[in-house]
Amino acid sequence: MLLNRIVCKSLAWNLLPAALLCCFLLGGCESAERSKPSRPAPEVAVVTVQPQEVVLTTELPGRTSAFRIAEIRPQVSGLIQKRMFTEGSEVKSGQVLYQIDPAPFQAALDNANAALGRAEASLSAMWSRARRFEKLLAVKAVSKQDYEDAAAALKQTEADIEYWKAMVRTAGINLEYTRIKASIPGRIGKSSVTDGALVAAYQPVALATIQRMDPMYVDVSQSTTEVLRLRRRLEEGHLDQDGTNQKKVRLILDDSTAYPFEGTLQFRDVTVDPTTGSVILRVVFPNPNGVLLPGMFIRALVEEGVNPQAILVPQQAVSRDPKGNPVALIVDAEEKVQQRMLTLDRAIGNTWLVSTGLAPGDRLIVEGMQKVRPGAFVKVVPFATGSEKNSGERKNAAPLPAKSN
pLDDT single digits (tens) 291-340: 999 999 999 888 777 778 888 889 888 989 888 899 999 898 888 889 99
| DSSP code string of 95-115 | -EEEEE--HHHHHHHHHHHHH
pLDDT single digits (tens) 148-195: 888 888 888 889 899 999 999 999 999 999 999 999 999 999 999 999
**Does position 6 have pLDDT exceeding 80, yes or no?**
no
User: Which residues partner with 313 through β-bridges?
Assistant: 352
Please name the residues in contact with 54: beta carbons below 8 A apart, sequence gap of 6 or more: 306, 307, 310, 312, 348, 353, 402, 403, 404
CATH of domain 103-176: 1.10.287.470
**Burial level of 269, CB count in 10 A (0-12/13-18/19+)?**
middle
**Burial level of 354, CB count in 10 A (0-12/13-18/19+)?**
buried
**Does position 22 have pLDDT exceeding 80, yes or no?**
no
* Residue, of 68 and 226, whose pLDDT is higher: 68
pLDDT single digits (tens) 184-212: 999 999 999 999 999 999 999 999 999 99
- Identify the pLDDT of residue 185: 92
- 75-101+178-205: in CATH 3.30.540.10: no
Dump strand ranges (E) for 269-405.
278-285, 297-314, 319-320, 326-331, 337-341, 343-348, 351-356, 363-367, 379-382
Q: Specify whether the backbone of 129 is left (phi greater than 0), alpha (psi in -120 to 50) or beta.
A: alpha
Query: Nearest-CA neighbor of 222 among 158, 299, 170?
Result: 299
Give the whole-angstrom CA distance, residue 81 versus residue 79.
6
Query: Nearest-CA neighbor of 363 among 326, 402, 396, 394?
Result: 396
* 3-state secondary structure (DSSP) of residue 166: helix
Angle (CA) 398 402 405, round 5°: 140
Q: Are 397 and 383 in contact (CB under 8 A)?
A: yes
**Does position 72 have pLDDT exceeding 90, yes or no?**
yes
User: Which residues partner with 44 through β-bridges?
Assistant: 380
Q: Are 372 and 337 in contact (CB under 8 A)?
A: yes
**Does position 3 have pLDDT exceeding 60, yes or no?**
no
Q: Are 366 and 317 in contact (CB under 8 A)?
A: yes
CATH 2.40.420.20 residue spans of the chain: 44-53+309-390
**Does position 396 have pLDDT exceeding 80, yes or no?**
no
| Entry pTM | 0.63
CATH of domain 44-53+309-390: 2.40.420.20
Give the whole-angstrom CA distance, residue 366 versus residue 330.
9
| DSSP code string of 288-321 | TT----TT-EEEEEEEEEEEEEEEEEEGGG-EE-
**Fold assignment, 56-66+214-307:** Elongation Factor Tu (Ef-tu); domain 3 (2.40.30)
**Does position 35 have pLDDT exceeding 60, yes or no?**
no
CATH 2.40.30.170 residue spans of the chain: 56-66+214-307
**Does position 367 have pLDDT exceeding 70, yes or no?**
yes
CATH 1.10.287.470 residue spans of the chain: 103-176
